[in-house]
């Protein structure tokens, strides 16, 4: 740490950081800050002649809107259920792909395919799979005799959000599989050998060697995915557009609707501010609980 | 050497200023690969006629194109000619981004050849011609001729006949239904059905009756709304509450439902999927109990940006795109209804599928085109409110009366 105290080094480091900081400030913080300001303005693209501050009107309208609370509740279901299953299935997949077998390269490539497709396209694809009249899923279920009449997966409020979550899980599993597989492959073999000499069972090796070693990856990936899933309206937008009757909206799809359908950037930004607040609180709490400072220590 | 270089540079710059081409930027928003290709063909024909003008066409992806254009205009980026749509025109005018074309129209002979709807649409906002429409979207009744013939059912001429015919087809056990419902984006369907029950709709204001009341408050509107829900429950696929355009088309071409209300741009896909051997046909919309059918019409066209540095050249391009020949070619490929009287004389629009629309245009006594309040600030929020409320009524989470009250409240204060 000694060299950092040198004045010239500090200047050098500072000088090196400035360009990227300036880049981030201009391209990320300025629009984000502008968005937060907009949340307090009467900012409708329909008429920009009066964009004055409107005394929290956007937030008041939002908090009076029952659809907002539906979307808020849905957001938590959407994020936690998607994340949980994406993580478990991704982990399982990574464990399966870790051991060498014939054709592993091709299978790995195929498994990662969903991650390479745009969320919107995936939404459109699943929208047809879940179609309540001519969808392939209904067809399969009817052929094997599980149901006698088609289920309105996207038209029945009881199924709409779960259907979108199912598509989202399918989409997100490869991400965890890729990241965890990479982490698993980095666990030194000698740790396992040492554990074996100590008489550890496979389960013990998993919990006491594998998990602690890949803990930083688990924390980082779940944290990042939480943020991404919450800010990922593509699938819902394409599959249900928040319907029927607003029952499958999450906050980010509600935000898109406010902007795309009603051109109300003020209201859209207000939803955005709520999302930022939730994510900030979540990140702080998550890092505190997981003790991220000590991750990777043995 | 240095002096020579400066001299040559100055000469080049001066030359470019005096002899350079005028560069126009044109932005389309209802983007599709085939349409973009067609527009590029028109542009090269225009450039051949005007060697001093070069046009750059910007084609943002359809889903975000309106947003992109709004942002370009509101930040005064270079735009000369732009696509103007029914639901974007008012915001462009509010934000003072569209040039008033009145002066230019005075010296354009073809303007007097346009159908009434073209004049009306051009001056939709503030009674001022802010753009030239290139076509219209008007709904008509698509029906599966083969299925109707097989069942011995006549093409319905009234809304009641449509309900009865659709119900006759419906047999949910065998996944067979009568009418192709629309979920999101349904407002034109619901309004057309409901308004056609109300005898005194004011065509000028659409949502008002002639005595100045919001039409949702009339007893006929409530009866109409209940019938509309009944049509859904008795004769539409339950899943269609969430159907968009592609599911509707799929339902129609697969034979799931024999009746569909749609715009003319749906014809090409139906021909592609069903072939043109008379499996389907297009008839005028059925008449409502009021003896009339109040038709909304969607439109889009080309306008000039108010801050364009080359308004004259931009107008030349708009004018070129609106000429009879170009408009006919555009309409045939794009599926919109043409804007000029003489275009309607073209053989193409006087046969086959277009007869359904022609019959409505030729019968103003029964088919009244109304103005709906695209230009009010309530319109955007109302679209989502209307969709959600209608779905809530279908799901039994709201009564029809409550929904109509909520819609009436929105519009009472707006006019």
Rounded to two decimals, the ipTM of the complex is: 0.82
Q: What is the mean pLDDT of chain A?
A: 90
pLDDT of A281 above 50: yes
C-alpha A60/C-alpha B381 separation (Å) is: 16
Burial (0-12, 13-18, 19+ Cβ within 10 Å), B220: buried
Do residues A290 and A219 touch, judged by C-beta distance below 8 A?
Answer: yes
Strands (E), B106-214: 131-137, 140-144
Sign of the CA dihedral B251, B255, B261, B262?
Answer: positive
Helix (H) or strand (E) holding B303: strand B298-304
Q: Which pLDDT score, from 0 to 100, does residue B4 have?
A: 64
Question: Beta partners for B133?
Answer: B301
Burial (0-12, 13-18, 19+ Cβ within 10 Å), B240: buried
Q: Please name the residue that has the structure tokens 């207000």.
A: A270
Any A CB within 8 A of B276 CB = no
A199-223 pLDDT tens trace: 888 899 889 899 999 998 998 899 8
CA separation, residue A80 to residues A94, A180, B61, B361 (Å): 21, 19, 32, 55
**Token pair recorded at residue B388:** 């959600």
**Token pair recorded at residue B149:** 């013939």
Please state the φ and ψ torsions of residue A15, each to the nearest 5 degrees. -60, -35
A180-196 pLDDT tens trace: 999 999 899 888 899 98
C-alpha B273/C-alpha B249 separation (Å) is: 10
A136-175 pLDDT tens trace: 999 999 999 998 888 999 999 999 999 999 999 999 999 9
Conformation bin of residue B58: beta by default, left when phi > 0, alpha when psi is -120 to 50 = beta
Higher model confidence: residue A51 or residue B306? B306
C-alpha B118/C-alpha B111 separation (Å) is: 9
CA separation, residue B34 to residues A82, B40, B68 (Å): 38, 10, 20
Q: Which pLDDT score, from 0 to 100, does residue B198 have?
A: 95
Q: Which pLDDT score, from 0 to 100, does residue A46 have?
A: 84
Closest approach of A48 to chain B, Cα-based (Å):
6
pLDDT of A38 above 80: yes
Q: Please name the residue that has the structure tokens 């929020």.
A: B381
Residue % of chain A over a pLDDT of 90: 59
CB contact under 8 A, B256 and A134: yes
CB contact under 8 A, A133 and B95: no
Q: How far is CA A226 from the centre of its chain?
A: 4
- Residue B350: other Cβ atoms inside 10 A: 11
Chain A residue numbers with beta carbons less than 8 Å from the beta carbon of B391 are 243-245
Any A CB within 8 A of B90 CB = yes
- Residue A50: other Cβ atoms inside 10 A: 10
C-alpha B321/C-alpha A141 separation (Å) is: 52
Chain B residue numbers with beta carbons less than 8 Å from the beta carbon of A243 are 183-184, 241-242, 387-388, 391
Chain A residue numbers with beta carbons less than 8 Å from the beta carbon of B394 are 244
C-alpha B134/C-alpha B338 separation (Å) is: 7
Helix (H) or strand (E) holding B386: helix B379-394
CB contact under 8 A, A132 and B237: yes
Instruction: Tell which residue, B118, B105, B111, B112, has the closest CA to residue B304.
Output: B105
CB contact under 8 A, B251 and A245: no
CB contact under 8 A, B94 and A264: no
Q: How big is chain B, counted in residues?
A: 415
Helix (H) or strand (E) holding B128: none
Beta-carbon pairs below 8 A across chains A and B: 95
Q: Which pLDDT score, from 0 to 100, does residue B376 have?
A: 87
Q: Which pLDDT score, from 0 to 100, does residue B18 have?
A: 47
Q: Which pLDDT score, from 0 to 100, does residue B11 have?
A: 58
Closest approach of A134 to chain B, Cα-based (Å):
8
CB contact under 8 A, A155 and B377: no
Tell me the helix, strand and coil percentages in chain A, rounded to 5: 75, 0, 25
Q: Which of B90, B91, B183 sits opposite A243 (nearest CB)?
A: B183
The angle that helices B187-195 and B379-394 make with each other, rounded to 10 degrees, is: 80
Q: Which of B63, B254, B383 sits opposite A134 (nearest CB)?
A: B254
Q: Coil, helix or strand for B191?
A: helix
Q: Which of B91, B247, B391 sits opposite A263 (nearest CB)?
A: B91
C-alpha B213/C-alpha B404 separation (Å) is: 13
pLDDT of A72 above 80: yes
CB contact under 8 A, A46 and B388: no
Question: Beta partners for B144?
Answer: B280
Give the 3-state DSSP-derived string for chain A, with helices as H, strands as E and coil as C: CHHHHCHHHHHHHHHHHHHHHHHHHHHHHHHHHHHHHHCCECCECCECCCCCECCCHHHHHHHHCHHHHHHHHHHHHHHHHHHHHHHHHHHHHHHHHHCCCCCHHHHHHHHCHHHHCCHHHHHHHHHHHCCCCCCHHHHHHHHCCCCCCCCCCCCCHHHHHHHHHHHHHHHHHHHHHHHHHHHHHCCCHHHHHHHHHCCCCHHHHHHHHHHHHHHHHHHHHHHHHHHHHHCCCHHHHHHCCCCCCCCCCCHHHHHHHHHHCCCEHHHHHHHHHHHHHHHHHHHHHHHHHHCHHHCCCC
Interface probe, candidates A31, A234, A262, A271, chain B, greatest B C-beta count within 10 A: A262
The angle that helices A251-260 and A265-290 make with each other, rounded to 10 degrees, is: 160
C-alpha A277/C-alpha A258 separation (Å) is: 19
Q: Which pLDDT score, from 0 to 100, does residue B326 have?
A: 96
Q: Which of B63, B238, B377 sits opposite A152 (nearest CB)?
A: B238
Q: CB-based contacts of A32: which residues, under 8 Å, 6+ apart?
A: A276
pLDDT of A51 above 90: no
Any A CB within 8 A of B113 CB = no
The pLDDT averaged over each successive group of 10 residues in chain B (415 residues) is 63 55 94 91 96 95 86 94 94 94 94 92 94 95 96 96 97 92 88 94 90 94 97 94 90 95 90 87 96 93 97 96 95 91 88 90 91 87 92 94 96 88
Higher model confidence: residue B278 or residue A255? A255
Closest approach of B239 to chain A, Cα-based (Å):
5
């Amino acid at each position: 740490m000694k060299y950092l105290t040198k004045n010239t080094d500090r200047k050098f480091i500072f000088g090196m950081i400035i360009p990227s900081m300036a880049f981030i400030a201009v391209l990320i913080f300025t629009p984000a800050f502008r968005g937060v300001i907009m949340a307090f303005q009467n900012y409708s693209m329909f008429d920009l002649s009066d964009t004055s501050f409107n005394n929290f009107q956007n937030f008041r309208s939002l908090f009076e809107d029952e659809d907002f609370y539906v979307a808020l509740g849905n957001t938590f279901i959407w994020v936690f259920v998607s994340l949980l299953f994406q993580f478990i299935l991704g982990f399982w997949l990574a464990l399966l792909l870790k051991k060498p077998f014939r054709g592993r390269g091709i299978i790995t490539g195929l498994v990662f395919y969903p991650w390479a497709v745009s969320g919107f396209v995936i939404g459109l694809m699943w929208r047809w799979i879940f179609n309540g009249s001519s969808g392939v899923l209904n067809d399969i279920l009817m052929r094997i005799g599980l149901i006698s009449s088609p289920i309105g997966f996207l038209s029945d409020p009881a199924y709409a959000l779960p259907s979108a979550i199912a598509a989202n899980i399918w989409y997100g599993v490869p991400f965890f599989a890729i990241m965890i597989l990479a982490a698993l492959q980095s666990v030194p073999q000698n740790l396992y050998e040492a554990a074996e000499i100590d008489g550890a069972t496979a389960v013990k090796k998993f919990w006491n060697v594998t998990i602690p070693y890949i803990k930083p990856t688990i924390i980082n990936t779940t944290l990042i995915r939480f943020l991404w899933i919450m800010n990922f309206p593509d699938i819902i937008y394409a599959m249900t557009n928040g319907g029927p009757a607003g029952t499958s909206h999450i906050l980010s799809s509600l935000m898109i609707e406010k902007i795309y359908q009603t051109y109300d950037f003020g209201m859209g930004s207000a939803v955005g501010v709520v999302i930022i607040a939730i994510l900030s609180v979540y990140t702080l709490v998550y890092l505190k609980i997981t003790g991220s400072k000590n991750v990777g220590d043995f | 050497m240095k002096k020579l270089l400066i001299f040559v540079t100055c000469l080049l710059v001066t030359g470019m200023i005096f002899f350079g081409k005028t560069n126009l930027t044109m932005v389309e928003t209802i983007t599709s690969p085939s349409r973009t290709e067609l527009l590029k063909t028109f542009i090269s024909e225009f450039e051949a006629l005007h060697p001093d003008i070069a046009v750059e066409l910007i084609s943002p992806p359809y889903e975000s194109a309106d947003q992109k254009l709004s942002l370009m205009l509101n930040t005064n980026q270079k735009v000369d000619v732009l696509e103007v749509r029914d639901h974007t025109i008012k915001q462009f005018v509010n934000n003072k981004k569209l040039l008033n074309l009145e002066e230019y129209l005075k010296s354009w002979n073809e303007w007097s050849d346009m159908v009434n709807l073209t004049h009306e649409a051009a001056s939709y906002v503030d009674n001022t011609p802010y753009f030239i429409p290139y076509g219209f979207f008007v709904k008509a009744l698509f029906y599966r001729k083969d299925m109707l013939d097989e069942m011995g059912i006549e093409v319905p001429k009234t809304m009641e006949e449509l309900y009865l015919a659709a119900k006759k087809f419906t047999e949910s056990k065998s996944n067979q239904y009568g009418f192709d419902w629309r979920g999101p984006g349904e407002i034109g369907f619901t309004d057309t059905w409901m308004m056609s029950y109300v005898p005194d709709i004011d065509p000028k204001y659409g949502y008002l009756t002639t005595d100045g009341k919001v039409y949702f408050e009339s007893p006929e509107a409530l009866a109409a709304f209940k019938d509309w829900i009944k049509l859904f429950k008795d004769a539409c696929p339950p899943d269609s509450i969430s159907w968009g355009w592609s599911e509707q088309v799929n339902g129609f071409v697969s034979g799931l439902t024999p009746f569909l209300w749609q715009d003319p741009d749906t014809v090409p896909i139906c021909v592609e999927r069903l072939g043109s051997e008379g499996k389907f046909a297009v008839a005028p919309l059925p008449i409502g109990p009021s003896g009339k059918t109040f038709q909304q019409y969607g439109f889009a066209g080309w306008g000039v940006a108010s801050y364009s540095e080359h308004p004259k050249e931009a107008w030349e391009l708009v004018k070129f795109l609106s000429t009879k020949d170009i408009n006919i070619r555009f309409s045939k490929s794009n599926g919109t209804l043409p804007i000029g009287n003489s275009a309607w004389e073209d053989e193409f629009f006087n046969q086959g599928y277009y007869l359904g629309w022609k019959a409505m245009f030729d019968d103003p006594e029964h088919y009244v085109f109304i103005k709906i309040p695209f230009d009010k600030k309530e319109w955007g929020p109302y679209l989502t409110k209307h969709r959600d409320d209608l779905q809530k009524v279908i799901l039994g989470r709201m009564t029809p009366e409550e929904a109509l009250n909520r819609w009436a409240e929105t519009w009472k204060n707006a006019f």
